[in-house]
Amino acid sequence: DTAVSQTPKYLVTQMGNDKSIKCEQNLGHDTMYWYKQDSKKFLKIMFSYNNKELIINETVPNRFSPKSPDKAHLNLHINSLELGDSAVYFCASSQDSGPGELFFGEGSRLTVL
């Protein structure tokens, strides 16, 4: 079983559309994240949720809205998509105790035309 799974893996859409990316982790972790990796390969944290509560919001436009229905899921909804939103979005999770290393999903490549 995949520990952190994201859907869809690929998403091609037009500017102005609204889209969602889903993430689920079966590791029993308390914290989940969304990272964005742009064309220059910089990996930037966007959001972090701990037990369904928003912990980190790294100056992301409010067109991006994370939603955590339970601590195993963290979905990312994006309104009014822009060309600059094209990137690979990675979901990750970590346990609060112990070393707390991140476990990443395989990524969702979003292309906005």
Q: Which residues bind other proteins (CB under 8 A)?
A: 4, 31, 33, 35, 41-45, 48, 50, 55-56, 88, 90, 92, 94, 96, 99-107
Q: Is 71 left (phi over 0), alpha (psi -120 to 50) or beta?
A: alpha
Residue nearer to other proteins on the CB measure, 18 or 58:
58
Which CB, 44 or 63, lies closer to other proteins? Answer: 44
Q: How far apart are CA 38 and CA 25, in angstroms?
A: 23
CB-based contacts of 63, cutoff 8 Å, min separation 6: 78, 79, 80, 81, 82
Is the CB of 72 or the CB of 102 nearer to other proteins? Answer: 102
User: What's the min distance (Å) between Cβ of 16 and other proteins?
Assistant: 27
**What's the rounded Cα separation, in Å, for the pair 111 and 113?**
6
What is the bridge-based pairing of β-strands 10-13 and 108-112? parallel
Smaller CB separation from other proteins, 4 or 78: 4
CB of 30 to other proteins, least distance (A): 9
